[in-house]
Amino acid sequence: MFDTNVVLDVLLNRQPFAKDAIDLFCAVEQSAMEGVLCATTITTIDYLCTKTIGRLAAKNAINGLLALFAIAEVNQNVLEAAISSEFEDFEDAVLYYSGLGQNVEGFVTRNAKDFGLSELPVYCPDGLCSVLHTQKPSK
């Protein structure tokens, strides 16, 4: 599951973070891994991108994300688990429990410390890129 910050790195070309995030998007596009986004990530991205790059560009970005990523739902169970959790940030807790509901295998974020309570692997983008590169078959 991709944290919102990693997605924004790609969409807004935020340097110096964009390269690794773009590499991860490419890995999803090439089916080297499955990418999942939390439903709240989509709404947050729409809001921030509309303010930054305009409504039409934001809609195009959202359509691209919906075509590339699976979307993990946010429902009452996710929200109750998140609010009852020990996560300091509610938004991170929602993303985490939404991911668990989608059976993700891990999380990719630039704020790994925010996911310190995770029982699943948490990767920084460059760390996950390294894992993916070591898993590529040799030619």
Q: Is residue 138 part of a domain?
A: no
pLDDT at 135 over 80: no
Integer CA distances (angstroms), 102 to 10, 11, 126, 135, in order: 23, 24, 24, 23
Q: Categorize the per-residue pLDDT at 137 as very low, low, confident or very high, splitting at 50, 70 and 90.
A: low
Q: What is the pLDDT of residues 17-31, one digit of tens each?
A: 999 999 999 999 999
Q: Is residue 48 part of a domain?
A: yes
CB 60 within 8 A of CB 25: no
CA distance 95 to 72: 9
CA distance 30 to 100: 24
CATH of the domain at 48: 3.40.50.1010
Domain that holds residue 94: 4-127
- Count of domains forming the chain: 1
Q: What is the pLDDT of residues 40-87, one digit of tens each?
A: 999 999 999 999 999 999 999 999 999 999 999 999 999 999 999 999
